[in-house]
C-alpha cells in the first residue's frame, strides 16, 4: 500500500519538508532504514514530531517521497539521452556515447543511499519496482542503440546481447561507486568496459553479415 504524502505549497512548508527528507536520507544511509525512527528524524531535522506527521503519515511515507525524488532524477537523465540525436551520435561515435551513459549513471548515484535502495528492494515492493523500472529503461535504450548502430531487424539474439551489454555497464558503475579506486583506475575501468562492449557489438555486426 502506497503511503500518503502531503504536498506542501508554501515556502516555509516546502523548506521544512526538504529538511525532513534530507535528514531522513542521511540517517537511512548512515544507520540503515530499519534502525531509524521518526522521532530521531524529527529531532535531527529540528522539527517537532507533530510537524513531521503533518507532512508524512509514517517512516515509509518518507521513504516513498525519497524514492519519488530518486526516480525523478533518473528519469531526467534518461530523457536527456533517450533521443534520436543520441541514437545518431551512437551510430557515428559509439564509444563517446557509452562513456556519456556511464558518466551520467555515475553522476546520478549517491553511494550510501543507492546501497540502501538496493538493500530495501529485497523487502519493500515499491523500491524493487523503481529499480526494475530503471533497469528496464536502460536495457531498452541499450537495445535500440544496438539496433540503430548495426542497422538490422529486431531479434531475440540482439536482445540477449543488449542485456549482456547492460550488465557490463551496470557492473562497471557499481565497481566504480563501491570499490576504492584512484581516478586513473576509474577511467581505465570505464575504457576497458567500453572496449568489451565494442567487441560484442563488432562481433554481432560480423555475424549479421554471414547470415
Task: Tell me the average pLDDT of the chain.
Answer: 86
Kindly indicate the confidence band of residue 68, based on its pLDDT and cuts at 50, 70 and 90: confident
Packing angle between helix 38-45 and helix 11-31, nearest 10 degrees? 120
Q: What is the CA radius of gyration of the chain?
A: 21
Kindly indicate the confidence band of residue 81, based on its pLDDT and cuts at 50, 70 and 90: confident
The residues, ordered by sequence, that sit 6+ positions from 181 with a Cβ below 8 Å of its Cβ are: 175, 189
- Predicted local confidence at residue 8, as pLDDT: 58
Superfamily for the 82-210 domain = Tetracycline Repressor, domain 2 (1.10.357.10)
- Of 50, 36, 43, nearest in space to 19 by CA: 43
Packing angle between helix 59-81 and helix 125-150, nearest 10 degrees? 10
DSSP H or E stretch at residue 93: none
Which CATH fold topology does 11-60 show? Arc Repressor Mutant, subunit A (1.10.10)
Mean pLDDT of 5-21: 77
| Residue given cell 547470415 in the structure block | 211
| Residue given cell 548515484 in the structure block | 109
Q: Where in the chain is the domain with CATH 1.10.10.60?
A: 11-60
- Predicted local confidence at residue 21, as pLDDT: 95
Q: Where in the chain is the domain with CATH 1.10.357.10?
A: 82-210
Amino acid at each position: 500500500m502506497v503511503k500518503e504524502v502531503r504536498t506542501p505549497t508554501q515556502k516555509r512548508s516546502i523548506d521544512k519538508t526538504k529538511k525532513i527528507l534530507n535528514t531522513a536520507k542521511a540517517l537511512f544511509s548512515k544507520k540503515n532504514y530499519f534502525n531509524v525512527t521518526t522521532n530521531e528524524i524529527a529531532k535531527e531535522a529540528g522539527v517537532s514530531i507533530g510537524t513531521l506527521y503533518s507532512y508524512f503519515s509514517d517512516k515509509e511515507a518518507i521513504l516513498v517521497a525519497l524514492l519519488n525524488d530518486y526516480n525523478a532524477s533518473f528519469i531526467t537523465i534518461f530523457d536527456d539521452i533517450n533521443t534520436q540525436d543520441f541514437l545518431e551520435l551512437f551510430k557515428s561515435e559509439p564509444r563517446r556515447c557509452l562513456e556519456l551513459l556511464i558518466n551520467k549513471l555515475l553522476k546520478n548515484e549517491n553511494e550510501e543511499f543507492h546501497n540502501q535502495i538496493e538493500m530495501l528492494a529485497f523487502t519493500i515492493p515499491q523500491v524493487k519496482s523503481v529499480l526494475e523500472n530503471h533497469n528496464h529503461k536502460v536495457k531498452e535504450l541499450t537495445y535500440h542503440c544496438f539496433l540503430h548502430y548495426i542497422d538490422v531487424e529486431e531479434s531475440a539474439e540482439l536482445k540477449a546481447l543488449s542485456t549482456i551489454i547492460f550488465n557490463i555497464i551496470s557492473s562497471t558503475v557499481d565497481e566504480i561507486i563501491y570499490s576504492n579506486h584512484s581516478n586513473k583506475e576509474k577511467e581505465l575501468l570505464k575504457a576497458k568496459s567500453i572496449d568489451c562492449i565494442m567487441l560484442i557489438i563488432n562481433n554481432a555486426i560480423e555475424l549479421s553479415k554471414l547470415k
